[in-house]
């Protein structure tokens, strides 16, 4: 049921869960202001503080991300967020800042660890252009950071007031099969 507020759809999941793939498929169906935080940050010069953090697989400071989000999110359009929030503080900030301005729907793209590792290995073997994909130790560090830092944010968002939360299984091999689950969660 559409209200007078626009949608703010947040895709969350481990590295390799398919956030970018499913964001692309969603954008083919709906017009979103698409904010891919990782792509924006990867555009930073490699020798900048942000570039060095990204290359190591570390998180960017909240203050920088809050300013970035406020500059990109406008309540006059539906928004699709990919890669934010990643921490509990960011999740709380997102809900506090935008739950009254948007219909916020957080979608956790749930994939078992063994499937994530297979997907990331395929990206690594395929010669991904992403600096944070081309080193197995950095990939493992990113997964560890996700489990330590992002999972508590996801667990908090499951019960946060003022938003809708969906836990969506996207562990099938075919993206199209997983996309059916995503579309079902949107209804």
The pLDDT tens digits along the chain (187 residues) read 456 899 999 999 998 899 989 999 999 999 999 999 988 988 888 898 888 888 887 878 899 899 999 999 998 999 999 989 999 999 999 999 999 999 999 999 999 988 888 887 777 777 665 555 556 677 788 888 899 999 999 999 999 999 999 999 999 989 999 999 999 999 8
pLDDT of residue 50: 86
Among 1, 14, 4, 6, smallest CA distance to 111 is for 14
Cβ atoms of 36 and 82 closer than 8 Å: yes
Other residues' Cβ atoms within 10 Å of the Cβ of residue 135: 15
Q: What is the model's pLDDT at position 91?
A: 98
Task: Give the pLDDT of residue 177.
Answer: 93
CA angle 27, 73, 43 (to 5 degrees): 75
Scan for tokens 């010069």, then name that residue.
45
């Amino acid at each position: 049921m559409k209200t007078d507020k626009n949608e703010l759809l947040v895709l969350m999941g481990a590295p390799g869960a398919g956030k970018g793939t499913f964001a692309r498929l969603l954008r083919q169906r709906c017009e979103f202001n698409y904010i891919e935080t990782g792509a924006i940050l990867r555009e930073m010069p490699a020798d900048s503080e942000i570039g060095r953090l990204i290359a190591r697989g570390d998180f960017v400071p909240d203050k920088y991300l809050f300013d970035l989000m406020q500059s990109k999110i406008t309540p006059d359009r539906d928004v699709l967020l990919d890669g934010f929030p990643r921490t509990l503080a960011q999740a709380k900030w997102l809900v506090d800042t935008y739950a009254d301005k948007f219909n916020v729907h957080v979608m956790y793209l749930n994939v078992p660890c063994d499937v994530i590792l297979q997907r990331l290995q395929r990206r690594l073997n395929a010669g991904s252009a992403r600096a944070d994909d081309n080193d197995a130790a950095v990939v493992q560090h990113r997964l560890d950071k996700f489990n330590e830092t992002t999972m508590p944010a996801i667990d908090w968002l499951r019960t946060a007031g003022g938003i809708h939360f969906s836990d969506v299984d996207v562990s099938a091999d075919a993206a199209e099969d997983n996309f059916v689950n995503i579309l079902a969660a949107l209804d």
